[in-house]
Amino acid sequence: MNKLGILMDDRYFDHAVEPRSLENPKRLRRLYPLIKERYNGAFRSVAPREASFDQIEQVHSNFYINQVREHAIKPDPFSYDRDTYLMDRSLATAQLAAGGCLAMADRVMDGTIRNGFALIRPPGHHAEPGRGMGFCVLNNAAITAKYLQTRYQLSRILILDFDIHHGNGTQDVFYDTDTVMFISVHQKGLFLSSGTPGEIGEGKGRGHTINIPVHSLFGDTEYTYLFGQLLNNVVEQYMPQIILVSAGYDGHEDDPISATLLTTHWYHTVTTMIKQCARDICDGRLLYLLEGGYNPESLEDAVLATIDSLLAPEQPRVGIFHSTRAQALLNHHPLNEFWTL
């Protein structure tokens, strides 16, 4: 039985605008046939479905959904937000993106696949309960986590976000609960002012939001050290029942939107680390959800590196070199009040 599921659907190209935005169908149009050719027979295809409005409204307000409907039919596709365009097919495409993640989650939970990669668009981690922004219409990761709580009664879910931007929307949804741990490693001060170390959650959620804003020019060594500390310590203490990854590839050294220096190989490395963590803690249950990545060539290379890692046989633990610059971010971080590093 193939243990890797991949979700691809040409209907994700329906959300599009001219003149072209950085978030456009070209991000996936060439990647889909590359995957089918390179991994023919090595993975299980998963078909998406549309998320219902009841499922969406576990995260987003009815008022916001009505706003999306209203702006989607206006002549100006940027009438709602200067980055987040809305067209007549945008809401249906976003429903298909969120619902695709739910279909993948079902297959992971019933054991049909061990881990999966939902190659969806539009992305989601910036979408707050009452507002879309930053190319994001519906928060795919948050909707999936809520679905897992409702459908499967999961009480410890990890959402790990390595997109170069802070996942403000996902953080907002789960800020006051300990049933979801949200960890975001992102470039400091890029796009939003949120995502500071002091944002730790509130009420029962204190300590379950962890933000690591990194400096520009951080690369493979620093990121691998940070993820090693988080996965081998904090995540092992939390013991999630499933790991959701908001997989943004805009931290790549060739991406136009960031100043970090992650190589294609790093995405293979971090996936190996996350996969091993999932194997040890939650019976391998792992689901990647595509977020950013705005250079189609580097996005393709990094996604293929991720899939290579997901398909690879079990390997020894990744070696982690010490990074003084990365450790400096952890020395006085508020997470030390709640977790042992």
**For 20-52, what is each residue's pLDDT tens digit?**
899 999 999 999 999 999 999 999 999 999 999
pLDDT for 2 equals 58
Please check the confidence at residue 1 and state whether its pLDDT lies above 60.
no
Q: Quickly state the pLDDT bin for 317 (edges 50, 70, 90).
A: confident
CA within 13 Å, CB half, 315:
17
Region 218-227 average pLDDT: 98
Calculate the alpha carbon distances from 177 to 148, 167, 173, 181, 287 in Å. Answer: 15, 16, 9, 8, 21
Apex 92 CA angle, 70 and 135, nearest 5: 75
Tell me the C-alpha distance between 187 and 185, whole Å. Answer: 7
* pLDDT attached to residue 55: 98
Closest among 137, 166, 156, 330 to 246, alpha carbons compared: 166
Structural domains of the chain, with CATH: 4-337 (3.40.800.20)
For the segment 160-213, what is each residue's pLDDT rounded down to a tens digit? 999 999 999 999 999 999 999 999 999 999 988 899 999 999 999 999 999 999
Q: Give this prediction's pTM.
A: 0.98
219 in Cβ contact with 260 (< 8 Å): yes
The mean pLDDT of 95-117, rounded to a whole number, is: 97
Give percent above pLDDT 90 in the chain.
96
Task: Give the model's pLDDT for residue 192.
Answer: 84
- Token match 């940027």: residue? 78
Q: How many CA atoms lie within 13 A of 291 on its CB side?
A: 34
Mean pLDDT of 328-334: 97
pLDDT at 20: 83
- State the catalytic residues: 126
Spell out a b/e string for 65-87, using b for 16 or more CB atoms within 10 Å of the CB, else e.
bebbeebbeeeebeebbebbbbb
Is residue 327's pLDDT more than 80? yes
